[in-house]
Amino acid sequence: MANAFLDDAPEQPQQQPKLWGSIAKVSEREKLKTYAAPSFDPSKYQILEKIGDGAGGTTVHRCLDIATQKQFAIKVVPRADYKASPTEVMLMTQWSAKNAILPTHVVTQDSKTYMSMELATGGDMLERILRSGPLTEAQAAHVLKRVAESLLDLHSTMGCCHRDVKPENVCIVDPNDVTDVRLCDFEQALPLFRHGHIYTKEESQDSSRGSLDYMAPERFYGIAAGAEGDCWSLGVLAYTLLRAQLPFDAVLCPLQRRHPQLKADVWDGLSEPAVALISSLLNVDAGSRMRLPGALAHEWIQMHTANPIDEPSVQDQIVKAHSQACRLAQLAQMNNSSCDEEMTMSSSPPINFMCA
């Protein structure tokens, strides 16, 4: 899709990235992908528009591959020394990502680093919530299912955890379908350690790196990575989608995040199944926290995702038809009242505005 990043130079032998012992098996789902090209030819693509800004001057643009006429996204980092983390490199080259967006090519040239990736024209989920408010439970269930499937595939296939699940990292591919989403930004991803793993000082040094509002309580005890942490973040994401706010009271320092306090009215307006799922994901005890298979099998997810969201149920159709009938009856009554008033006015004697 991003031919602009390829040149006519002969292919170089693939270099296997260094893998950790816990993820030493190469995924057999597909052949290794191209990670980087030695250079790119700007004449092979056309930048159509800027579609986003990031930290440190990073910009994201919509681009057109002139040869194939396909569009893709290009992320421009104004640094020549930028390097993807070893885990992200491994995912780029070996993971056939499910419901996820990873860079397909990374090239450094002219003091900048260029990354091409799948185009998501609907922006990110945070932008959508700030612009249009919270999602319906049906919409949120579809989004959560896609994100949970991506995380489960990441955990089980590649032995990694994301560590930064939040609305900003959920991209909407189709602006007309808020449920067509992909998980993105795997810069914080790390190898997946089993629950109860004793972390070394090196493993724990970046335990609090990421988005604090979506970070699991155990991360503030120096526990750097785990599937349970992604499950906690998924729970915060679910609540944010439904209420357009965080479920916890404001905190003053990271140490208070070890014991997050739910707001007094935290569950107001949510259905019982939604509360049951989210509260199970937000269990402070990581060992008792709901896992991804349980979340995907939960009745709230199953109930809302059994049918496409754009097909209203029979009950919804009845309610809509009843509402339309009531509205038509109201308009008819207003019309009749207007006609009666006109007849009354026409039968009254004319009013004389002349002064005596």
- Provide, rounded to the nearest whole percent, the portion of the chain with pLDDT above 70: 69
Do 73 and 92 belong together in one domain?
yes
Q: Which domain holds residue 245?
A: 125-305
Report whether pLDDT(129) > 70: yes
Distance in angstroms between the alpha carbons of the first and the last residue of the chain: 88
Do 216 and 255 belong together in one domain?
yes
Do 178 and 111 belong together in one domain?
no
Q: How confident is the model at residue 335 (pLDDT cuts 50, 70, 90)?
A: low
Do 138 and 237 belong together in one domain?
yes
CA separation (Å) from 323 to 108, 137, 178, 311, 319? 59, 21, 26, 18, 6
Q: How confident is the model at residue 347 (pLDDT cuts 50, 70, 90)?
A: very low
Q: Is residue 10 part of a domain?
A: no
Residue 274: which region, alpha, beta or left (left: phi > 0; alpha: psi -120 to 50)? Answer: alpha
Chain centroid to CA 66:
29
Assign residue 71 the CATH number of its domain.
Answer: 3.30.200.20
Q: Is residue 212 part of a domain?
A: yes
Q: Is residue 325 part of a domain?
A: no
- Provide, rounded to the nearest whole percent, the portion of the chain with pLDDT above 90: 38
Specify the range with the lowest mean pLDDT, choosing from 76-80, 189-193, 252-256, 288-292: 252-256
Report whether pLDDT(17) > 50: no
Q: Which of 89, 117, 145 is the last residue of a domain?
A: 117
Do 177 and 99 belong together in one domain?
no
Do 103 and 131 belong together in one domain?
no
Beta-carbon contacts of residue 337 (< 8 Å; ≥ 6 apart): none
CA separation (Å) from 8 to 4, 5, 41, 107, 108? 11, 10, 10, 15, 17
Q: How many of the other CB atoms lie within 10 Å of CB of 183?
A: 25
Q: What is the DSSP string of 64-93?
A: EETTTTEEEEEEEES-SS----HHHHHHHH
Do 104 and 134 belong together in one domain?
no
Residue ranges of alpha helices (H) inside the chain are 86-94, 125-132, 137-158, 201-204, 227-243, 272-281, 292-296, 299-305, 314-347
Note the pLDDT of residue 239. Answer: 97
What's the domain count of the chain?
2
Q: Which residue has the higher pLDDT, 169 or 18?
A: 169
Mean pLDDT in residue range 23-39: 38
Specify the range with the lowest mean pLDDT, choosing from 113-122, 188-197, 211-220: 188-197
Note the pLDDT of residue 232. Answer: 96
Mean pLDDT in residue range 158-177: 94
Q: Is residue 56 part of a domain?
A: yes
Do 183 and 297 belong together in one domain?
yes
Mean pLDDT in residue range 264-271: 93
